[in-house]
Structure 1
Amino acid sequence: MTPAPTSTTDRVSTRVSIALLGVRSDAPVRRTGGAGPSDDGHFVIDGAGAAIPLNLASPYVVNARGRLTLDGADLGFDVSPVTRPRFYDLQTSEGVAYDKIAKLHGKNVLATTVVQTCVRYDESERCRFCAIEASLDAGTTIAVKTPAMLAEVAEAAVRLDGVTNMVMTTGTSNGWDRGAKHLARCVRAVKKAVPSLEIQVQCEPPADLQAITDLYEAGARSIGIHVESMDDAVRARWMPGKSRVSMDEYRASWREAVRVFGWNQVSTYLLVGLGEDPDELVAGAAELIEMGVYPFIVPFRPLKGTLATDVDRVPAPDRRILNSVTARVATLLQAAGMRGEDQRAGCAACGACSALQTAGA
């Protein structure tokens, strides 16, 4: 007998717990290394995509009937692993495997890092949670994805696997655009090949805000300008290079992005677990919401190959803090009528790395 669904509060608490403790399960689609939350398996939980750490020591188990259990008790969640996409079996005419060009994220999102290197990757400059070049060193990706490559892979992913939207991010370049120019070229090529595919782009605030309009005119319809923390002391400690891009520059970029892309088509990651005061983090989220920017609340995830894990030994955040911050920000988002699933494409639209959608936001 299937148990009755638990309350929203209980469901959010469980979703937060598995985001931190992971699950015992197999997952054909998984990520290791990279620039964002990684070392996870991709699942569909009650119809929604979820990126969950794979942890053989986790008390949470996906049983043979596809139910999430804790100490044998059914928690009321249907869980199924995302199946390996068919486009992973293909390669370009030059012999580059498609899965080195773009990956399936969640259940229906195609994701790529168009430039897998970052000008800030020296240890003195690097974001301590980032391993953008680790997958390059491991040979699981290539340094630069060309517009033609991405168009080819996107067409196949849509045709063979039903991908509905795409995320394009990039390592930061030395130029005034900080990587936006190559992103725009890639967006334009993909939209020409697959006009129906919605695309989110992600980049640092460009020195010239015209780059934001250029990305929209290329065909992107959502944008992520990710700050990770709005606390300058936290930024200096965790992101020594990136923190030199001031909060004033971020705010100017967010406002311009909202003007160009529209309300709730702009987002930014806020990471829980970097040492920021939870009340200040929630206050920062409220400021973003007032601007029309969706604050995507995600836990810091320990990841091999990052300075935070290999050198600093920083653990995952306290479950109670993540649960509280998620619930409080979800309440603010609900009051504003702002939902991640209303974004045209991207991380907030997918929601797999956060518990916000489980909380109704």
Structure 2
Amino acid sequence: MSELAQSDLINELQTHGMRLIDPRAGQESRRGGAGPSDHKAITIGETTVMIPVHTAPSFESPYLVEAPDDTGAARVTRDGEEVAQVRFPTKAKFYALKTADGIPYSQIAALHSRDVLATTVLQTCIRYESRKKTCQFCAIGQSLAAGRTIAHKTPEMLAEVAKAAVELDGVKHMVLTTGTPRGRDRGAQVMVDSALAIKAAVDLPLQGQIEPPEEDIWHQRMFDAGIDTLGMHLEAVTPEVRRRIMPGKATVPVEKYLSSFEAAVKVFGRGQVSTYILAGLGDTREAILSMADTLTAMGVYPFVVPFVPISGTPLESHPSPSSEFMASILRPLGQMIARNGILSKDMKAGCGKCGACSALSTYEKLAPLPQRRIA
């Protein structure tokens, strides 16, 4: 399969989802919670991606995944014709362990993709406390309510699990996200405390994900504590969409994000600061690419992913974007990223480096190699 064909197939699967013939194949999928929920990890060629399997669009998907064989390989078909061979990643070995006080490691952190460890340090959020403020796509409280996680992962817990995940499963980097707590630091202190403990236990690149802190000095404090890359997620790029979809978070204006991005790049470096943009919530292609142009010029990586409706959220019936719409963004965006020399493969840690929730990194590979920047 050519790189272009693989990019387009991943884009198709992520917008349509896929149907599993064997329900047991979905046992290691993620339901509810923060991050790529209602998804299943599969590997196509050498690329591991997250594909929706428990969403309304996926139940109607034209893509069917047959039961995997003894090696974990399976055929993906459309209209009875094979379109790809995929592999299902094996269950993480560290999931079998518990802390001394009996908390399963799987409730503290999860294996995303093949070699990425991720956790939501605080499984509560000031934006989630009121229906008038909550992000309409967010399911941060679902996994907590279902008993699949705990409300607060202490630094000591995170260090213990991170060390085990590196030693048992070969984890290469870790994502630390959090619900937004009260306070002007917006979660930066949580990142500092967590990073200090993890880095004392194991040499593992870390990404911290928070809202922009009120004071820019927090960027340096997080970096000094061991956070290698920083994510501050816009989700939507135009003020009207932000107010409609995430009324609480929209009180932090785009202008604040841009100023915080600029300050963060000075600390973490070009290509080591990123943002998450959910395409399909109402922003036009032109608006997303215009914002991406601004961000990439600043040295901020715009990780654009297709919106996936999560069951139990206000947007559970909202349609996913079409594969054509996503391709019209990701193809030129891949060129834009390459042109500015901030490729995902050069990121030290985080969602952009993992790339499993979008076909973006595969479109980057189709772009000409960037010229070396002259200082």
Say yes or no: does 1:13 pair with 2:34: no
The 8 Å contact of residues 28 and 83 in structure 1, kept in 2 or not, is answered as no
The 8 Å contact of residues 135 and 246 in structure 2, kept in 1 or not, is answered as yes
The 8 Å contact of residues 24 and 58 in structure 1, kept in 2 or not, is answered as yes
Cα–Cα, structure 1 residues 183 and 7, in superposed 2: closer, same or farther, change >3 Å?
Answer: closer
The 8 Å contact of residues 173 and 350 in structure 2, kept in 1 or not, is answered as yes
Q: Counterpart in 2 of 1:43?
A: 42
The 8 Å contact of residues 299 and 340 in structure 2, kept in 1 or not, is answered as no
- How far is the alpha carbon of 1:151 from its aligned partner? 0.4
Which consecutive segments of 4 or more residues in structure 1 shift more than 6 A?
none
Say yes or no: does 1:180 pair with 2:183: no
Return the letter of the residue paired with 1:111.
A
Say yes or no: does 1:322 pair with 2:326: yes
Q: Counterpart in 1 of 2:370?
A: none
Return the letter of the residue paired with 1:118.
C
Q: Deviations over 1:321-356 (max 9, x none)?
A: 112111121121122222112110110000000001
| Residue 154 of structure 1, aligned match among 151, 154, 162 | 162
Return the letter of the residue paired with 1:223.
L
- How far is the alpha carbon of 1:280 from its aligned partner? 1.3
Q: Counterpart in 2 of 1:307?
A: 314
1:77-226 map, 5 Å:
77-121=84-128, 122-195=130-203, 197-226=204-233
Say yes or no: does 1:337 pair with 2:341: yes
| Residue 291 of structure 2, aligned match among 281, 284, 293 | 284
- How far is the alpha carbon of 1:57 from its aligned partner? 4.1
- How far is the alpha carbon of 1:72 from its aligned partner? 3.1
- How far is the alpha carbon of 1:24 from its aligned partner? 3.0
The 8 Å contact of residues 205 and 249 in structure 1, kept in 2 or not, is answered as yes
CA distance in 2, matches of 1:160, 1:11: 30
The 8 Å contact of residues 191 and 227 in structure 2, kept in 1 or not, is answered as no
The 8 Å contact of residues 27 and 43 in structure 1, kept in 2 or not, is answered as no
CA distance in 1, matches of 2:64, 2:361: 22
Q: Deviations over 1:282-313 (max 9, x none)?
A: 1111110000000001011010121112xxx3
Q: Deviations over 1:147-203 (max 9, x none)?
A: 0000000011111111110000000011111111011101110011002x1100000
The 8 Å contact of residues 200 and 220 in structure 1, kept in 2 or not, is answered as yes
- How far is the alpha carbon of 1:6 from its aligned partner? 3.6
| Residue 60 of structure 1, aligned match among 63, 88, 104 | 63
CA distance in 1, matches of 2:115, 2:49: 11
The 8 Å contact of residues 16 and 319 in structure 1, kept in 2 or not, is answered as yes
Uncovered stretches (5+) of structure 1, i.e. residues with no partner: none
CA distance in 2, matches of 1:186, 1:7: 38
SS in 2 for 1:228: coil
- How far is the alpha carbon of 1:48 from its aligned partner? 1.7
Aligned CA RMSD, in angstroms, stands at 1.4
The 8 Å contact of residues 207 and 228 in structure 2, kept in 1 or not, is answered as yes
CA distance in 1, matches of 2:195, 2:37: 24
Deviates more, 1:54-63 or 1:86-95: 54-63
CA distance in 1, matches of 2:102, 2:135: 33
Q: Deviations over 1:52-90 (max 9, x none)?
A: 112454322334553433223232x44111111110011
Return the letter of the residue paired with 1:342.
D
TM-score computed with the length of structure 1 as normaliser: 0.94
Say yes or no: does 1:294 pair with 2:301: yes
| Residue 229 of structure 1, aligned match among 233, 236, 261 | 236
- How far is the alpha carbon of 1:21 from its aligned partner? 1.6
Q: Counterpart in 1 of 2:357?
A: 353
The 8 Å contact of residues 27 and 82 in structure 1, kept in 2 or not, is answered as no
